[in-house]
Amino acid sequence: MGLLDNKIALITGGSRGIGAALVRTFAKEGAKVAFTYRSSAGPAEALVTELGENVRAYQSDASSFDAAAELIKNVTADFGNINILINNAGVTRDTLLLRMNEEQWDTVMDNNLKSIFNLTKHALRPLMKAGGGSVINMSSIVGVIGQAGQANYAASKAGIIGFSKSLAKEMGSRNIRCNVIAPGFISTEMTDELSEDVQKKYLEAVPLKRFGEAEEIAKVCVFLGSDMSSYVNGQVIGVDGGM
């Protein structure tokens, strides 16, 4: 028996990094999983081959309102319903505000914040039809404490927190819970590209003195997606090693 048996999860940005760990972990716990990718067709197809018939990949742009509507339509047609939505897709365009241009700001806002409106808006009716469910939004420690050179990213991730707390209040009476994960420094392809000196500097701020693993984010999401968290709503859970 898995913690997510008989549940259907939709995970955006699921082909790599934290998203791929989410897909693997949710499938292991018994969920049927739909996940999206925008351009990483090869990794997405490999993940479907690895995990089998209860996992399907969909090419979709989360920043597009119309694409999000089409995605929800397709997922509900293929799986019957949605019980869990994880808004994980996101991008960075890091630079100091003095150098930041409008495109860098808009790209991050559209992919990180507007995308959550797009997907959640269209998923609410299927969640209500299912009798309730769990929305899990991926923020960041940067959305809580800020970070030089990431004003656009920090603003988008802070916006996710406000959005989620509001949604939790709006939809609680419909048995739809909404919570936020705020990861710290997690080992992914992005952190692997950092120099040893930069990694050492980041680790000085982490009491556990190591980067987190993507699977450690996924385990908290399993808790939030499962019935174990049935009275957890409107919360921001930091998975950051104590930062």
Among all residues, which ones are annotated catalytic? 153
DSSP for 80-119 reads S--SEEEE---------TTT--HHHHHHHHIIIIIHHHHH
Tokens 């790599």 locate to: 16
Strand extents, DSSP E, the chain: 8-11, 32-37, 55-59, 84-87, 133-138, 176-183, 186-187, 212-213, 236-239
Four-CA torsion 70, 73, 76, 78, nearest 10 degrees = -70
Tokens in use for 242?
């104590």
**Cα 139 from Cα 88, distance rounded (Å):** 8
